[in-house]
A and B are shown apart, each in its own frame.
Chain A
Amino acid sequence: QVQLKESGPGLVQPSETLSLTCTVSGFSLTSNSVHWVRQPPGKGLEWMGIIRSGGSTDYNSALKSRLSISRDTSKSQVFLKMNSLQTEDTAIYYCLSRFAYWGQGTLVTVSS
């Protein structure tokens, strides 16, 4: 069945770069898009970006200058990199496909 799982550091220092990995199973990245969505504690959902089946990307306007999404199709992995992290980037980060299949999310705390 379709599964997605996020992994990465739980704690990131301010001004540093966040690197997250989404490992998928049950579907092919060359046939399906993967999105990233984040949710600050106690707040709403924010769409971050997408990497399409063909490898093209689109990003949230507010994050575009700091955000990069890439993939390794041979490993069924999608990567999120976001630089210049601040405390307001503290959130649960989700990867998902077709908005029907979500990972469990990974909490990233930005703090010194």
Chain B
Amino acid sequence: DIQMTQSPSSLSASLGDRVTITCRASQDIGNYLSWFQQKPGKSPRLMIYGATNLEDGVPSRFSGSRSGSDYSLTISSLESEDTAIYYCLQYDKYPRTFGGGTKLELK
């Protein structure tokens, strides 16, 4: 199975900060990587697919990038509504596998 190693596991940042979360894949997954946002008591929300493509309705301050086997989710200017847990998912191979999650809080 492909392992998705997500870092950091938690992150505290201030309003307006640039925030980056990373997932490293244990095998080549091409660009078959998605990012999800989950708020307390809610179902996950798809934010990014294909490593870099913004899902409809997602604010443009969110972006995704890839460097080799490292995939990143960046929030260019943190807003209060962005506090949540973020997960990556590889969907290149079965079984699909999620990263362990990053809890993003306001400082």
Binding site for B on A (CB under 8 A): 35, 44-47, 49-50, 58-61, 94, 96, 99-100, 102-105
Q: Does B46 contact A (CB under 8 A)?
A: yes
Q: Using CB atoms and an 8 Å cutoff, list the residues of chain B in contact with chain A.
A: 1, 34, 36, 38, 43-46, 49, 55, 87, 89, 91, 94-101
B94-A58 in contact (CB<8A): yes
Chain B residues with CB below 8 A from A58, complex form:
94-95
Which of B46, B95, B100 touches A47 (beta carbons < 8 Å)? B95
**Among the listed B43, B49, B96, which residue makes an inter-chain contact with A94, where contact means beta carbons less than 8 Å apart?**
B43
Minimum CB–CB distance for B86 against chain A, Å:
11
Contact across chains for A99 and B98 when beta carbons are under 8 A apart: no
Q: How far is the CA of A73 from the CA of B100 in the complex (A)?
A: 34
- Check B87–A60 contact: CB distance below 8 A: no
Name A61's contact: one of B87, B91, B95, B101 (CB within 8 Å): B95
Q: Cβ of B49: which chain A residues have Cβ within 8 Å of it?
A: 99-100
Contact present for A100 and B55 (CB under 8 Å): yes
Determine which of B44, B94, B100 lies in contact with A102 in the assembled complex, contact meaning CB atoms within 8 Å. Answer: B44
CA distance A99 to B49 in the complex (A): 9
In the complex, A102 Cα to B55 Cα: how many Å?
14
Contacts of A59 in B (CB 8 A): 95
Nearest opposing residue in chain A for B89, CB measure: A99
**Interface centre among B36, B45, B95, by most A CB within 10 Å?**
B95
In the complex, what distance in Å separates the CA atom of A45 from the CA atom of B38?
A: 10
Residue of B nearest to A59 (CB): B95
Query: Closest residue to A47 on the B side, CB-wise?
Result: B96
Q: Is the CB of A45 within 8 A of B55?
A: no
Minimum distance in angstroms from A59 CB to a CB of chain B:
7
